Amino acid sequence: MASLLSARCAVSLRKSASLIHFRSGALLFSRCYGSKTASSPEFLHESIVPSMHYQKSLPRLPVPKLEDTIRRYLAAQKPLLDDDQFRTTEKIAQDFQNGAGKQLHEELVAQDKNNKHTSYISGPWFDMYLSARDSVVLNFNPFMSFNLDSRNEYNDQLVRSTNMVCSAVRFMKTLRARLLEPEVFHLNPAKSDTQRFKNFIRWVPSSLSWYGAYMVNAYPLDMSQYFRLFNSTRIPKPGRDELVTDEKGRHLLVMRKGNMYAFDVVDRDGNLVKPAEIQSHLKYILSDSTPAPAFPLGVLTSENRDIWAGLRDKLVAAGNAEVLQMVDSALFCLCLDDESMRDHIHISHNMLHGDGCNRWFDKSFSVIVTKDGQAAINFEHSWGDGVAVLRFQNEVFKDTTEKPLVHPGSPPAAVDSASAVRRLSFNLDRELESGIEKAKKNFDSAVSKLTIDAMEFKKGGKEQLKKSKLSPDAVAQLSFQMGFLRLYDQTVATYESCSTAVFRHGRTETIRPASTHTKLCSHAFVHEPNKHSVEELRAMISECSKYHGQLTKEAAMGQGFDRHLFAMRYLSNSKGQALHSLYTDPAYAAINHNILSTSTLTSPAVSLGGFAPVVPDGFGVGYGVHDDWIGCNVSSYPARNVHEFLQCVHKSLEDIFNVLEGKPLS
């Protein structure tokens, strides 16, 4: 089945998809969501094709051939190493391919054949996330901010919060009733995204439905992560955390000023509580005069996972088990911030980390709404790669802006919110108070080192690049390589995430944008601007674009090298074997020390996305290539200068677009 995919879908993925990738998370396919059918007030829409209709027949993620993995690995290492280093790494890799690697690969393939219900990467990837002991803040949780409602009066904090909660519950109910439209990537929507096709495919057995979609050039995506969206929390445990989902929870967790509240948003019959009642409860919380707690519990979720696990055990022992269960089983977390946002940089800092007190970073996701109605989602990354989160964000934005359930001037219901809303209180002893103080100190120290800056390049974008027959993503990535070379005179390990959601339980694969092509092109632009003709420079850009397109296509088809090497290392460790020298080679450590960690995001719902660098001397590069402009939202720690890097990226984009317009480099 994978060969069917690669024969037709792979090339088209690059050419026809609107590509969105997020952090170490996801490459998604932008599309218009929502059914054209009428729906009841309880649901966003009522799809005639069941949500999980395609899940059983999704193709399996292929284990790449070992020789292909080694070839791709060495190609990615080439621009990062000098000749002597490369010869050493090449010899080690060939030894691995002919010896230990061959054995590990065969065992991995055999293991995969015995586990046809899943993918070879799913288990190891969950384990990698859940075993990480670093704080989830900055290291893992990203954010995606919502665009404002075009009608400013709907951005009132109370109105927007109420509508977002109502739309979120409607999404949850639509999903659980299996009425949410399946996630499908349409290469020819005129044929496949039609009522006629849906009327046909609904009757095709789910064991064969993927093939039916394939026949009209449509590619269903894995939706196995969606159930973790609601009522889910990451629970800290010594050594390895646990993901817990309790679908019985009917309440919402709300945080304001570090205080925690809960109230039901679903009634006993499973229906959405009246929007005017939800509005009343949120108004009650927003007007609550209770001061901020001296020891805000939420900051513990920003702590080292083993330390947090120990403190959570102490919380339970101190009699807080029932209230923690309320937190863990809540549908999701709504964070109401009392601050107004000054600008995009302020939004990025607030939505990525805030002050640490008004967040519960372990919830599968939190919706954050500021005093001036700016909104974002901050999500915990172990349970999923952002596919489900972005779908949720798109649907909630569409629903709240097109069909809001409360309006400016809508009166809240005359209900007793004081008895419906429970303010959660915790028994804390001196040891727990001290743990909270230390967590806050550690949090403040970590976030104080983070700098975020943004850049907008207004002289061209996607339209002009496509006219030049260039991949917009490839050109953006080339500008990062060029910018880094201009500032630091180096080519370094670069990470771009790509979803493998076209496969059952697919997670992600890595695109390696730093190549011999980008190195050569960057060197020509930065160090030899007068040595090459405009035609030669254009030819170099074109080569970079073609090669990046090939890497993207391979990654989307599960044909990268990173996950395969990772799975074999995981297998070797699980057997207690000594690691082969490929994994102890300094070059392997260096290519996995991703100084440039990049992610692209363009969606009608999303204003900007952001994340911290993944290494102390790195950049976290969020970017979007729009029709006529290119934007970057970049973070760094003190080891790097984010302001100068963005200036160099801007200069690189100017040079690239000048060359495309036939102008020589100045």
Catalytic residues: 381
Q: Does residue 244 contact residue 328 with C-beta atoms inside 8 Å?
A: yes
Report CA 514 to chain centroid distance, whole Å: 21
Q: Does residue 475 contact residue 541 with C-beta atoms inside 8 Å?
A: yes
Q: Which two tokens stand for residue 148?
A: 């404002």
Q: Does residue 375 contact residue 397 with C-beta atoms inside 8 Å?
A: no
Q: Does residue 625 contact residue 634 with C-beta atoms inside 8 Å?
A: no
Strand segments (E) across 151-205: 184-186
Q: Residue 218 belongs to what H/E stretch?
A: strand 218-220
Question: Which residue has 């919060």 as its token pair?
Answer: 161
Phi, psi of 362 (to 5 degrees): -80, -15
Question: Which residue has 């230990």 as its token pair?
Answer: 100
Phi, psi of 562 (to 5 degrees): -60, -50
Rg (C-alpha) for the chain, rounded Å, is: 25
Q: Which two tokens stand for residue 134?
A: 């670093």
User: Angle between the 122-131 and 562-574 helix axes, to the nearest 10 degrees?
Assistant: 70
Q: Does residue 618 contact residue 44 with C-beta atoms inside 8 Å?
A: no
Distances 482 to 491, 545, 657 between C-alpha atoms, Å: 9, 14, 13
| 557 half-sphere exposure, CB direction, 13 A CA radius | 23
Question: Which residue has 């993901």 as its token pair?
Answer: 243
Q: Which two tokens stand for residue 577?
A: 């074997």
Is 529 strand, coil or helix? coil
Residues in the chain: 666
Distances 124 to 73, 108, 574 between C-alpha atoms, Å: 20, 12, 10
Question: Which residue has 């989902």 as its token pair?
Answer: 245
Tell me the C-alpha distance between 394 and 258, whole Å.
Answer: 28
Q: Which two tokens stand for residue 469?
A: 């027959």
Tell me the C-alpha distance between 297 and 358, whole Å.
Answer: 9
Is 239 strand, coil or helix? coil
Classify burial at 588, counting beta carbons within 10 Å of its beta carbon; exposed 0-12, middle 13-18, buried 19 or more. buried
Tell me the C-alpha distance between 105 and 406, whole Å.
Answer: 57
Tell me the C-alpha distance between 75 and 444, whole Å.
Answer: 41
The DSSP bridge pattern shows strands 333-336 and 251-256 to be parallel
